[in-house]
């Protein structure tokens, strides 16, 4: 199986003032759509048929403009059952079943997206991924990085803990950049480390047939649970390191009312639970890889803090959802390179990781 995955951005649905609507495809996925090489001049296009469950097949156009170096699919939104303005931030999957036919799936909720991403252990921080079953990994990371990772994990026979896995990723990708860029690179590197370790550690088990279906199911569940466990802690682990490096006082997780445990509480649980400590010096930050519907979970995690913050790697959210967040006094913290996937007129509402760090320093130090 070969598949192309892409998070829908504001540009893809035409709400950022693009001259022509169309889902942008990455040229690394070229062979999924064309047999011909990328033309140096002119336009290359073809009509394809799109198949969506419980919806009549329809035609779309795959087109490459050499003058703009743009590669996209057009004539898509007008024919689909999806409301394009609400599709920002959703995960779209293209699976070629013939040179002219593509099965298309759209995953709209956080549960759906994370289940899918964790099942295939995909890294979509570049806004896309390509999965080839025969190779068992997505093609989305520089080969030079894979070479480095291969050398680092040589001889490792077991999976490290989730904390150690994150630390290993940071030791591999040591280039000093902004907190925003480092966070994305560390998460992406960790995906690749984990996938390469899976191939190495599971090699013997996968080279022999399972003795019965129960053994196969047990192995599959074990592998999937490990993927979910690692993915669920990766973002928090790297944020923990970033905040500690910035000498910020915090707890991860914090404790507020009852059994509530916000992901990050600044400066600490002790200060939060001290009713004499000024409320305007308290900060709560949730951390969720995706947040199309889970953002509401953070609203009641710290009653003393009326204005909440949520850090996410979500690549785009609809205008309606961003308006709802604003009404609920929730500020999104999004790594700067991902801001371009959000509606243009709403991007000034987003905070960068660096902005949040500076804000926390003023509040808590």
Which residues participate in catalysis according to the annotation? 272
Residue 330: CB atoms within 10 A of its CB come to 19
Q: Are strands 91-98 and 2-7 parallel, antiparallel or unpaired?
A: antiparallel
Dihedral of the alpha carbons of 139, 171, 179, 285, in degrees to the nearest 10: 90
**CA-CA distance, 132 to 136, in Å (whole number)?**
6
List C-alpha distances in Å: 263 to 8, 181, 224, 286, 297: 27, 21, 24, 5, 11
Cis? peptide before 253, omega within 30° of 0: yes
Nearest Cα to Cα of residue 15 among 86, 90, 80? 86
Structure tokens at 273: 């639970």
- Tell me how far apart the terminal alpha carbons of the chain are, to the nearest angstrom: 53
**CA-CA distance, 140 to 137, in Å (whole number)?**
9
């Amino acid at each position: 199986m070969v598949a192309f995955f892409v998070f829908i951005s504001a540009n893809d649905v035409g709400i950022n003032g693009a001259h022509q609507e169309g889902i942008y495809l990455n040229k690394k996925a070229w062979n999924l759509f064309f047999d011909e090489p990328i033309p140096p001049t002119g336009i290359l296009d073809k009509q394809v048929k799109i198949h969506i469950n419980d919806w009549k097949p329809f035609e779309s156009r795959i087109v490459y403009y050499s003058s703009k170096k743009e590669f996209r699919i057009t004539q898509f939104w007008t024919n689909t059952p999806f409301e394009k303005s609400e599709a920002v931030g959703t995960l779209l999957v293209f699976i070629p079943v013939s040179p002219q036919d593509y099965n298309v799936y759209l995953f709209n909720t956080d549960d759906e997206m994370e289940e899918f991403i964790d099942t295939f252990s995909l890294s979509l921080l570049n806004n896309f991924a390509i999965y080839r079953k025969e190779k068992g990994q997505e093609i989305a990371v520089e080969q030079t990085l894979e070479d480095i990772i291969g050398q680092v994990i040589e001889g490792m026979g077991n999976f490290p803990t989730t904390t150690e896995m994150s630390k290993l990723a940071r030791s591999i990708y040591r280039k000093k950049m902004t907190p925003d860029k480092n966070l994305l690179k560390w998460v992406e590197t960790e995906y690749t480390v984990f996938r390469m370790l899976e191939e190495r550690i599971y090699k013997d088990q996968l080279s022999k047939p399972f003795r019965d279906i129960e053994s196969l199911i047990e192995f599959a569940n074990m592998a999937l649970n490990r993927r979910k466990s690692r993915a669920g802690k990766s973002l928090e682990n790297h944020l923990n390191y970033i905040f500690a490096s910035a000498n910020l006082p915090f707890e991860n997780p914090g404790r507020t009312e009852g059994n509530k445990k916000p992901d990050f509480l600044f400066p600490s649980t002790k200060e939060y639970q001290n009713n004499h400590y000024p409320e305007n010096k308290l900060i709560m930050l949730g951390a969720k890889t995706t947040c199309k519907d889970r953002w509401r979970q953070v609203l009641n995690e710290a009653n003393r803090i009326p204005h909440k913050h949520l850090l996410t790697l979500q690549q785009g959210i609809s205008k309606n959802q961003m308006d709802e967040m604003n009404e609920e006094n929730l500020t999104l913290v999004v790594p700067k390179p991902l801001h371009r996937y959000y509606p243009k007129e709403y991007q000034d509402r987003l905070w960068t990781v660096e902005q949040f760090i500076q804000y926390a320093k003023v509040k808590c130090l």
